[in-house]
């Protein structure tokens, strides 16, 4: 009935997506401390920072310092985020990141307009220039991403057929320019997904492109994040973005009740209990979540950091 | 593939289970205010308070005052909790509660010993005296409850066969004493449930007693509460306990990182998006969650109270 994958791959986005929304400045040393602690959890991929304009996002002005200060560990992929050529060049200049090009289309025209000030045609037409930029730097383009794939606060529900169209567009654009996408991300950017919508969209894309690896980027704004991840697992999806502690989320109204990505440790706990391998050490990860909480100085939404894992309890019971 | 019920029934336990764990005293008037606000949400059943020893649980010493102060609304069932004859007599004396007898067995011997200082045989043997007590007061006995049905912090995983045995025991004990149980609660008391375990246990009980209505009491201590409720919905379970705002839970380490029941409004949101009727007004319920948060004076874990419902967004988009 379900199709749980034997192994999943997690991209840890806490240091990037999480610290970005914090109001109080986070000391560079603390960011490095968290990245280094995460490196020791067995995670395969950490998105370390964001190379955005320091005046627009002052909290990310220390991007280079964070990358220079971290202690890379063999087997972990360290990446960054950028929004334009200048950002990419800064990321390249660090000489320490594993960079990959990504195409992005939006399943909401209004959101695209607000976010990028572009029409859908303009966004599509901008992708070849992106590919050329990556090719000029010898950076592979392997990933596509659909923003607002499950719904949008400005446009409402999104038809799965529209997502299919965007996936097809990105695959064609890449192929037309000598690239081949192997991973397609579906972003629940504004938290409209439900387990049923996950099944519908993933099912439709899967049926049309059975060999395309899928990734889910889930926000927990409306409390369904882990239930949606469960639906993804049942559909056999193997790639997930997550943020340690649920970084980026905050229960305080003063933070606008922000809710970040699903908490990495809660998702790893779910996988562990389902017998799905993550390669990660849940106790070390919970320790990272507590570290993240002490760094931001307010409660983070992840549960396992206080609730504790069952593996630990079973070991205690077995030893008694 | 799934068997979503068209309608679910929610027992709101926030005022009882939630306020009980708060460290700071909650003014009686605030408790009444929340009960009255909940009465206006369309909820069918509110567990108002707990008739426990005022010296053991000082925060519940005002049980009678809360019941006397609330304004009952037609169509809402108001109930209370008690642990012994004295508590039951106090609940009866209010003259305002809809009382029902409940049998309880434990799927963990160690937890039973710690909680009730009884062996499993002693617990079973205590049930007929309970039934007699209810019968003496003309109170129907319709519900059974399995504590720790999915696992226990002291004993570990629970075999579904053990849950089946306890359900069978309660049905027999009731039948032997002239009562017939129509609702069987499965309590994830210590948050060991996963969607798979829900399916296994519910599936086993359902197969043996297809006409027995089931209820799930889920804690979100390890972040799987809503995913577990989703699994219950997919198994066709129609009754759920929940606590507005996730009352009883608190992200502060100072509260031991307590995690209460699933947040009523997050569960109602899930149902609404799945097309399952709850009879409740989600916007009013979210307002109750914000009221509960202001009463306890610290963030509560429920998400919809800040994340907002999609129905509200859809209406706004349609009106634009």
The tens digit of pLDDT for each residue in B39-58 reads: 999 999 999 999 999 888 88
**Mean pLDDT (chain B, rounded):** 94
pLDDT at residue A299, rounded to an integer: 87
CB-CB neighbours of A156 under 10 Å:
17
Alpha carbon separation from B196 to A220, B8, B45, B186, B244 (Å, rounded): 21, 21, 28, 15, 26
CATH number for the domain harbouring residue A179: 3.20.20.70
Structure confidence at residue B249 as a pLDDT band (50, 70, 90): low
- Best of B109, B193, B227, B297 to substitute, by most chain A Cβ atoms within 10 angstroms, is B227
Q: What confidence tens digit (pLDDT) does each residue in B176-197 have?
A: 999 999 999 999 999 999 999 9
With CA atoms as reference, the chain A residue closest to B1 would be A1
- Inter-chain CB proximity B227 and A302 less than 8 Å: no
Residue B3, domain member (yes or no)? no
Q: What is the ipTM of this complex?
A: 0.95
Picking from A141, A242, A149, the residue whose alpha carbon sits closest to that of residue A204 is A149
Of A154, A301, A303, the CB nearest to B317: A154
| Chain A closest-CA separation from residue B266 CA (Å) | 6
**Contact at 8 Å (CB) between B200 and B161?**
no
Residues in B touching A221 (Cβ below 8 Å) = 303, 307
- List strands edge to edge, sheet with B101-106: B77-82, B45-51, B9-12, B239-242, B213-218, B183-188, B141-147, B101-106
Number of domains in chain A: 1
Residue A53, domain member (yes or no)? yes
Structure confidence at residue B250 as a pLDDT band (50, 70, 90): low
* Beta strand B213-218 pairing with B239-242: parallel
Residue B2, domain member (yes or no)? no
Residues in B touching A1 (Cβ below 8 Å) = 1
Residue B4, domain member (yes or no)? no
Alpha carbon separation from A318 to A158, B55, B88 (Å, rounded): 49, 37, 40
Q: Which domain holds residue A58?
A: 9-319
With CA atoms as reference, the chain B residue closest to A314 would be B156
pLDDT at residue B258, rounded to an integer: 58
Residue A2, domain member (yes or no)? no
Q: Which residues of chain A have pLDDT under 50?
A: 1, 253-254
Residue B86, domain member (yes or no)? yes
CA distance B172 to B184: 13
Residue A192, domain member (yes or no)? yes
Residue A130, domain member (yes or no)? yes
Picking from A123, A124, A126, A52, the residue whose alpha carbon sits closest to that of residue A83 is A52
**Contact at 8 Å (CB) between A16 and A50?**
yes
Q: What confidence tens digit (pLDDT) does each residue in B71-128 have?
A: 999 999 999 999 899 999 999 999 999 999 999 999 999 999 998 999 999 999 999 9
């Amino acid at each position: 009935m379900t199709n749980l994958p034997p192994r999943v791959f997690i991209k840890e986005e806490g240091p990037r997506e999480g610290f970005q929304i914090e109001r109080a400045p986070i000391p560079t040393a603390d960011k490095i401390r968290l990245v280094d602690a995460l490196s020791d959890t067995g995670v395969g991929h950490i998105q370390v920072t964001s190379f955005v304009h320091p005046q627009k996002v002052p909290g990310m002005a220390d991007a280079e310092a964070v990358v220079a200060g971290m202690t890379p560990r063999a087997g972990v992929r360290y990446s960054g985020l950028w929004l334009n050529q200048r950002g990419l060049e800064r990321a390249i200049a660090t000489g320490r990141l594993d960079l990959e090009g990504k195409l992005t289309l939006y399943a909401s025209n209004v959101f695209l307009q607000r976010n990028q000030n572009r029409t859908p045609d303009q966004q599509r037409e901008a992708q070849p220039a992106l590919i050329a930029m990556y090719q000029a730097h010898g950076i592979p383009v392997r990933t596509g991403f659909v923003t607002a794939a499950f719904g949008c606060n400005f446009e409402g529900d999104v038809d799965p057929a529209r997502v299919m169209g965007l996936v097809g567009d990105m695959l064609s654009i890449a192929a037309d320019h000598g690239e081949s996408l192997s991973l397609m991300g579906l972003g629940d950017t504004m938290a409209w997904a439900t387990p049923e919508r996950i099944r519908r969209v993933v099912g439709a894309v899967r049926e049309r492109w059975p060999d395309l690896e899928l990734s889910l980027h889930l926000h927990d704004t409306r409390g369904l994040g882990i239930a949606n991840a469960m639906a993804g697992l049942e559909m056999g999806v193997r790639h997930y973005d997550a943020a340690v502690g649920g970084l980026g989320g905050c229960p305080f109204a003063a933070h606008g009740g922000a809710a970040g990505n699903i908490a990495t440790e809660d998702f790893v706990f779910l996988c562990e209990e389902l017998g799905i391998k993550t390669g990660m050490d849940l106790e070390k990860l919970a320790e990272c979540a507590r570290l993240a909480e002490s760094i931001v100085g307010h409660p983070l939404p992840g549960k396992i950091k206080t609730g504790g894992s069952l593996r630990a309890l079973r070991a205690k019971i077995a030893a008694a």
